């Protein structure tokens, strides 16, 4: 009953907001050399007892107030400065992005970006905020926390298996033993620091980057003297169809844990790849993506290592069935390879299946009211099943 009341209040707020004339376009100054834009969203749902929607910012993505502001400062035809500030639940303010964009040849689509740069890997990473997400939840590959951490490692396979389904507060015996959140396959809520080059030629768009962190653990500062290389290519062979692929490889394990291991040239890295397809026609939009990740992790302090693999598959669709109204659904699964311990053999992390269905109404062009039902199933952890009804009001300019 309480959730029904909350839903009604959110929809009433949306209607009231529509009655007011709120900004709908980015704000520009200095003859277009300074451009400011922003977004704000309020998401409400029951408490997520199983932490299925917990993020690496230690927030539940279905229960938060998020606000962001983006600025572009065009210093010349060849140089621009870009930044984004974001806050969740007004608990902190984070500089999600802060980088310089250099265009060596002004009339050519070749950009060099330096600083805390946009993600290179994956299709969802650049649309994690805003209206391009038809539902409220974030795909499992980009949000769901595994038990792995860059500053902590298991003493043996059995200790790793005991942590299945506990990525929201993980801890092992080697390295930093303080309980903290693990990492997702790909972090869409944190951007990495480094250099990125991107270009476009006819139907092909390509980007490559060298950064401090990895796909699952983006960083501002280097924690292991290693770098990540990432690349992404997309092709649009016909109107409405885009096919993309990404690859990334970087040193994952932090120096705090490495100092406890035997000296040598062994790489404890993360390797990731993904393919994605997007097709739109008329009122229909369909997306599909498969992402694979493999972490090379030490087991104990002997130097023995194990490849921990995961695969996430997502299919989502959106259909506009009436003016201002659309329906959407997303079906996904996150699976892991099996490992053998002294007492059991099992997937190293608990597999998760999620179905989310709902829809939205455009109160005005840049104001959407959404509602969605999310169903989670997990083969492990303290809570194995979860059904969450969520509502969201999203505004951007």
Superfamily of chain region 2-396: Porin (2.40.160.10)
Mean pLDDT of the chain: 91
| 265, pLDDT greater than 70 | no
pLDDT of residue 128: 57
| 211, pLDDT greater than 60 | yes
pLDDT of residue 158: 95
CA within 13 Å, CB half, 353: 3
Average the pLDDT over 74-82 and give the result.
Answer: 95
* Least trusted range by pLDDT, from 129-138, 194-203, 329-338, 378-387: 129-138
Q: What is the pLDDT of residues 280-295, one digit of tens each?
A: 999 999 999 999 999 9
| 18, pLDDT greater than 60 | no
| 8, pLDDT greater than 80 | no
| 12, pLDDT greater than 50 | no
Which candidate, 251, 263, 340, places its Cα nearest to that of 301?
263
pTM of the entire structure? 0.90
Q: What is the percentage of the chain residues whose pLDDT exceeds 90? A: 80
- 102-122 burial, b for 16+ CB within 10 Å, e for fewer? ebeeeeeeebbbebbbbbbbb
Distance CA 356, CA 53 (A): 12
| 397, pLDDT greater than 50 | yes
**Two structure tokens written together for 158:** 């059995």
| 34, pLDDT greater than 90 | yes
| 361, pLDDT greater than 50 | yes
Burial class of residue 316 (count of CB atoms within 10 Å of its CB; 0-12, 13-18, 19+): buried
Which candidate, 148, 149, 153, 188, places its Cα nearest to that of 173?
153
Which candidate, 17, 45, 215, 191, places its Cα nearest to that of 116?
191
Q: What is the pLDDT of residues 333-347, one digit of tens each?
A: 999 999 999 989 999
The Cα-based distances of 219 to 70, 212, 360 in angstroms read 20, 6, 34
pLDDT of residue 2: 42
For 194, list phi and psi in degrees, rounded to 5. 170, -145
Distance CA 290, CA 275 (A): 6
Is-contact 180 217, C-beta < 8 A?
no
Return the bridge partners of 66, or none: 41, 88
Q: How confident is the model at residue 21 (pLDDT cuts 50, 70, 90)?
A: low
pLDDT of residue 22: 67
| 130, pLDDT greater than 80 | no
In this structure, the strands spanning 325-336 and 352-364 are antiparallel
| 183, pLDDT greater than 60 | yes
Distance CA 225, CA 335 (A): 31
Domain boundaries, the chain: 2-396
pLDDT of residue 14: 43
Q: What is the pLDDT of residues 91-128, one digit of tens each?
A: 889 999 999 999 999 888 999 999 999 999 999 987 75
For 391, list phi and psi in degrees, rounded to 5. -130, 155
Is-contact 345 326, C-beta < 8 A?
no
């Amino acid at each position: 009953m309480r959730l029904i009341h909350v839903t009604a209040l959110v929809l009433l707020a949306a209607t009231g907001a529509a009655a007011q004339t709120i900004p709908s376009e980015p704000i520009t100054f200095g003859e277009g050399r300074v451009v400011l834009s922003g977004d704000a969203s309020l998401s409400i749902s029951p408490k997520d007892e199983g932490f299925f929607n917990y993020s690496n910012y230690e927030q539940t993505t279905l229960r938060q107030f998020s606000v962001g502001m983006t600025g572009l400062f065009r210093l010349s035809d060849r140089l621009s400065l870009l930044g984004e500030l974001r806050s969740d639940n007004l608990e902190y303010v984070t500089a999600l992005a802060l980088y310089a964009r250099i265009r060596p040849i002004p009339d050519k689509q070749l950009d060099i970006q330096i600083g805390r740069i946009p993600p290179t890997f994956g299709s969802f990473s650049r649309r994690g905020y805003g209206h391009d997400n038809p539902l409220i939840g974030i795909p499992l590959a980009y949000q769901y926390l595994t038990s792995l951490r860059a500053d902590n490692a298991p003493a043996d396979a059995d200790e790793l298996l005991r942590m299945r389904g506990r990525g929201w507060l993980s801890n092992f015996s080697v390295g930093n033993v303080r309980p903290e959140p693990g990492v997702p396959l790909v972090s869409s809520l944190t951007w990495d620091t480094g250099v990125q080059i991107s270009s476009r030629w006819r139907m092909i768009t390509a980007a490559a980057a060298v950064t401090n962190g990895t796909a699952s653990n983006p960083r501002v500062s280097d924690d292991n003297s290693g770098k990540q290389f990432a690349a992404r290519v997309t092709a649009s062979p016909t109107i409405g169809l885009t096919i993309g692929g990404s690859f990334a490889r970087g040193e994952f394990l932090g120096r705090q844990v490495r100092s406890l291991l035997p000296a040598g040239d062994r790489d404890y890295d993360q390797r990731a790849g993904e393919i994605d397809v997007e097709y739109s026609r008329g009122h229909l939009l369909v997306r599909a993506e498969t992402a694979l990740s493999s972490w090379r992790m030490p087991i104990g302090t002997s130097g023995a290592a194990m490849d921990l693999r995961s695969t996430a598959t997502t299919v989502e669709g959106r259909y506009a069935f009436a003016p201002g109204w659309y329906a959407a659904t997303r079906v996904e699964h996150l699976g892991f390879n099996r490992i053998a311990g002294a007492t059991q053999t099992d997937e190293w992390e608990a597999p998760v299946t999620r179905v989310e269905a709902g829809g939205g109404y455009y109160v005005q062009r840049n104001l959407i009211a959404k509602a969605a039902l999310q169903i989670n199933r997990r083969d492990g952890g303290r809570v194995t099943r979860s059904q969450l009804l969520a509502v969201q009001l999203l505004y951007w300019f």
